[in-house]
């Protein structure tokens, strides 16, 4: 009976060590998937812009890449199937990604945003920065990440 208790205690200790690392790996995987999907969609948007001299329409009402609209059927219809066969609408957390163009530049600037694990806007940054929080926004604009995860996550 004592041997059984010792085995159960050892299994409990191993689980206490392994489960947080597993959960962290799952969240990092969702971040990386979101970043990859943003790059894929940006490639399609850039290809469209090369052919048309402007980006597909999308509202960006505040004038920054930190707000926009869900990828609409109109925006996706001009990209698919010519520029991308399977357009991505949702991020790794199964929430809609947002897309917008800058109206002040006559649709010559664009951005994608994922609101992270919690789905809540956590920043209004337009300066390049890294984050270590799974809840932080992931922002991609004009060919590069403006805000993105890096380092140990929490």
Distances (CA, A) of 46 to 78, 79, 86, 87: 12, 10, 16, 14
Ramachandran class of 4: left when φ > 0, alpha when ψ lies in -120 to 50, beta otherwise = alpha
138 and 148 Cβ atoms separated by less than 8 Å: yes
pTM of the complete model: 0.76
Sites in the chain below the pLDDT cut of 70: 58-74, 103-107, 123-130, 151-154
CB proximity list for 94: less than 8 A, separation 6 or greater: none
Distance CA 99, CA 78 (A): 14
pLDDT of residue 87: 87
State pLDDT tens for residues 58-85.
654 444 444 455 565 667 778 888 898 8
């Amino acid at each position: 009976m004592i041997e059984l208790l010792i085995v159960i205690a050892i299994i409990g200790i191993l689980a206490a060590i392994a489960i947080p690392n597993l959960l962290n790996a799952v969240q990092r995987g969702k971040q990386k998937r979101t970043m990859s999907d943003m790059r894929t969609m940006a490639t399609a948007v850039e290809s469209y812009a090369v052919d048309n001299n402007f980006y597909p329409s999308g509202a960006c009402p505040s004038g920054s890449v930190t707000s926009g609209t869900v990828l609409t059927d109109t925006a996706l219809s001009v990209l698919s199937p010519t520029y991308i066969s399977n357009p991505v609408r949702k991020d790794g957390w199964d929430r809609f990604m947002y897309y917008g163009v800058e109206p002040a530049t006559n649709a010559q600037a664009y951005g994608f945003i994922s609101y992270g694990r919690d789905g809540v806007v956590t920043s209004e940054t337009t300066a390049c920065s890294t984050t270590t929080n799974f809840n932080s926004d992931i922002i991609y604009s004009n060919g590069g990440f403006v805000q993105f995860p890096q380092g140990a996550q929490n």
